[in-house]
């Protein structure tokens, strides 16, 4: 879009501000284009001093800077539905960054309306997924707002951004020697850029911040027990706490045991492949535990169909369509499947692995008297022969007909035109 002012009054833009390189550079860049910048930092669990971030935004030229604590909102309204849907993009990525974007966009829209702003801005580049998520979430909630993405327009390289920041006396953590781009929230930590851009290179240990190397993890395994109520984590080792606090605790416990590292070459929305490194300790543990409990209490046909829904649900999140009608409709189905997903699951954490070792539920479909091969077996094995006969009838009929020689086909007589 054009950044020319529409009148003599400077237009107001609400910027999603993280304090990182791109958004730090965006404040003076937008200001130089004739706009008043209102910075909004949404606390979704990123381990930074948010008051320092607020002061940095003002020092960088923002006319106002807001900080909002949305950790509980993030855990209960975004992570919980995704967990109940076992949301894993391409079967690997727990969608940590993707889940936070619609929440941040919702707060941007609220501030924009409060401030009377006509624009919302973010620090995403034209190559990434987050631009799609911010743009679509914002316009879904407030079609009247225009979205600006300075990094799509300024065409600066990362090194040039660093130089621009220094020329405007803006301190940034990224340097030419350490060029990683990092995003963190309750549900995970993502790292890209630098040597990670070569998918053939093993990620160096320096890129990890939440997880201990599995080779350096404790020699003794750690066991955790997660209690679920209707698909939602309710307790950890018998202790009840707000979900966002449980996530933080699990991130620490599982990360200490080397659990949660994901090295993924994924298919971005814009059509390119990208190598991403994620650390999602709590997500890996909770998703595995939730799937194990569902396997215990759900019938096979429900599990099979739900896997199809989970794949589509995950793609909607990844593609920035959280506020789409389909996601809400799928949520209704997922919620209906969670009525009996109540019980406890024990997970063994050991040197990078998280393995379910036990599960129990008052709604368990596992019946020892039916499954056992020992005394007390109540399964009527003599009934299986008739069941197999009927179950296999379509396949036998198909094969029997196919085994016959083809019948002679009589051709219709040909008449001259």
Domains of the chain are 12-182 (3.40.50.620), 187-365 (3.90.1260.10)
DSSP assignment of 135-160 equals: HHHHHHH-TT-EEE-HHHHS---HHH
Q: What's residue 4's pLDDT?
A: 45
Q: Identify which of 281, 279, 280, 309 has the alpha carbon closest to the alpha carbon of residue 294.
A: 309
Q: What's residue 19's pLDDT?
A: 87
How far apart CA 376 and CA 368 sit, in angstroms, is 9
Supply 241's token pair.
């706490």
Catalytic option among 181, 267, 274, 364 = 181
Contact 193, 158 (CB under 8 A): yes
Q: What's residue 204's pLDDT?
A: 95
Q: Tell me the whole-structure pTM to 2 decimals.
A: 0.89
> Under 8 Å CB-to-CB from 236, ≥6 apart: which residues?
224, 225, 226, 227, 246, 249, 250
Instruction: Provide the sign of the torsion angle of the four alpha carbons 396, 398, 403, 407, taken in this order.
Output: positive
Q: What's residue 409's pLDDT?
A: 54
Active site residue 22: yes
Active site residue 135: no
Active site residue 130: yes
Helix, coil or strand: residue 15 = strand
Contact 345, 158 (CB under 8 A): no
What are the per-10-residue average pLDDT scores of the chain (417 residues)?
Answer: 54 94 92 96 92 92 95 98 98 97 98 97 90 97 96 86 88 64 93 92 96 97 98 98 97 98 95 95 98 98 98 98 97 98 98 98 92 82 91 92 67 63
Helices (H), 270-392: 281-297, 300-318, 325-337, 368-371, 384-391
Catalytic option among 18, 71, 106, 130 = 130
Supply 185's token pair.
């929230």
Contact 182, 190 (CB under 8 A): yes
Supply 23's token pair.
């958004």
Q: In the chain, count of helices (H) and strands (E)?
A: 15, 14
How far apart CA 45 and CA 264 sit, in angstroms, is 23
Instruction: Provide the sign of the torsion angle of the four alpha carbons 155, 159, 165, 168, taken in this order.
Output: negative
Q: Identify which of 19, 268, 318 has the alpha carbon closest to the alpha carbon of residue 125.
A: 268
Catalytic option among 22, 54, 96, 212 = 22
Could you identify the residue written with the tokens 């209704």? 332
């Amino acid at each position: 879009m054009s950044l020319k002012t529409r009148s003599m009054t400077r237009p107001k833009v609400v910027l999603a501000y993280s304090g990182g390189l791109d958004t730090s550079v965006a404040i003076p860049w937008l200001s130089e284009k004739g706009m008043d910048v209102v910075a909004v930092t949404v606390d979704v669990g990123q381990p930074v001093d948010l008051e320092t971030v607020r002061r940095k935004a003002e020092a960088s030229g923002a006319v106002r800077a807001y900080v909002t604590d949305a950790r509980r909102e993030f855990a209960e309204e975004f992570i919980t539905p995704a967990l109940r849907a076992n949301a894993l993009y391409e079967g690997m990525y727990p969608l940590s960054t993707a889940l936070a974007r619609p929440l941040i966009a919702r707060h941007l829209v609220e501030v924009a309306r409060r401030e009377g702003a006509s624009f919302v801005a973010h620090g995403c580049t034209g190559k990434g997924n987050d631009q799609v998520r911010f743009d679509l979430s914002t316009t879904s909630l407030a079609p009247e707002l225009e979205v600006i993405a300075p990094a799509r327009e300024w065409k600066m390289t990362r090194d040039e951004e660093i130089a621009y920041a220094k020329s405007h006396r803006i301190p940034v953590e990224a340097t030419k020697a350490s060029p990683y781009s990092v995003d963190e929230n309750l549900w995970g930590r993502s790292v890209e850029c630098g040597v990670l851009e070569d998918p053939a290179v093993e990620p160096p240990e320096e890129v990890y911040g939440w997880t201990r190397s599995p080779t350096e993890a404790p020699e003794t395994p750690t066991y955790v027990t997660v209690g679920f109520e209707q698909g939602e984590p309710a307790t950890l080792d018998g202790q009840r706490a707000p979900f966002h606090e449980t996530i933080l605790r699990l991130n620490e416990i599982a990360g200490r045991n080397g659990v949660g590292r994901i090295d993924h070459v994924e298919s971005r929305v814009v059509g390119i492949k990208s190598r991403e490194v994620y650390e999602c300790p709590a997500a890996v543990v909770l998703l595995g535990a939730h799937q194990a409990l569902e396997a215990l209490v759900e019938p096979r046909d429900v599990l099979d169909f739900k896997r199809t829904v989970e794949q589509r649900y995950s793609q909607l999140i990844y593609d920035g369509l959280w506020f789409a009608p389909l996601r809400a409709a799928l949520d209704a189905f997922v919620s209906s499947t969670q009525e009996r997903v109540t019980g406890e699951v024990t997970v063994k954490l050991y040197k990078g692995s998280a393995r379910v070792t036990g599960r129990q539920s008052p709604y368990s479909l596992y019946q020892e008297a039916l499954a056992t091969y020992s005394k007390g077996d109540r399964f009527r094995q003599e009934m299986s022969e008739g069941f197999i006969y009927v179950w296999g009838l379509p396949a036998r009929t198909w094969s029997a007909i196919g085994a016959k020689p083809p019948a002679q086909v009589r051709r219709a007589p040909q008449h001259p035109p």
